[in-house]
Structure 1
Amino acid sequence: MTWCLIGNQATRRDGSQVLDLPGDSPRSLVADRFVTMNQADEQGRKATVIFDLATPRAGRLWILNDRKASPTLYTDREMRYFKRGDKWTVIHDPDR
C-alpha cells in the first residue's frame, strides 16, 4: 500500500505527494488507486464518483435521486464492480 486517506486528501505513505480529493466522505482504497466519494455536479446534485489517484480523474457512478436507473456498486475485500446497462466495470486488487 502506497496511499493513505486522511480527511479529504490522499497522501503517499512516503510523504512525496498529497492529492486533494474532489469530493467528500472518501471510502477505502481499491487496488491502491481507486477511491469512491460523494460529490456535487455542476447543477448542485449529489452524486457518487470513483476517483483514480494515478491519473487524477473522477468518473460519476450515479446521481442521487435521479429518475434514471442507477448502476449498483458492489464491493468486497478484493474488488469493486458495477453494472451500467449491460456493461460491467471491475476493479480488482489481487494483493488484498
Structure 2
Amino acid sequence: MEHQTVIITGDTAGIGLVTARMAAEHAEAPISVTLIKPASIATPFPEHAGNVMEREPTLPPPLYEPRIVARSILYCTEHPRRDM
C-alpha cells in the first residue's frame, strides 16, 4: 500500500505530460516536452514527509543521485527528446 501513492502520483503526472505534449504539438509551439523517468531520487524525502504508518517509508529501487537527475534535465534542455 505504501507504494500506491507513488504509482497514482506518477500516473497523474503522465496524464499531464501527455496533455502538455499534445497541446504543444497541436499549437505547433516551438517547445519540446521531455519525460524524465527516474524511479526514485535519493533525497531525504522519506525522513521529512509526514508518516502515520508503523514503519518509516522507503523509496523503491533503483535510487538515482539528485546530481544525475539534474544533469539529465539540463541535457534535455539542449537536446530535445521525448523521454529519458
TM above 0.5, yes or no, is: no
Structure having the larger proportion of residues in helix: 2
Flag the structure with larger Rg.
2
Between Structure 1 and Structure 2, which shows a larger proportion of strand residues? Answer: 1
Higher relative contact order (CA 8 A, sep 6+): 2
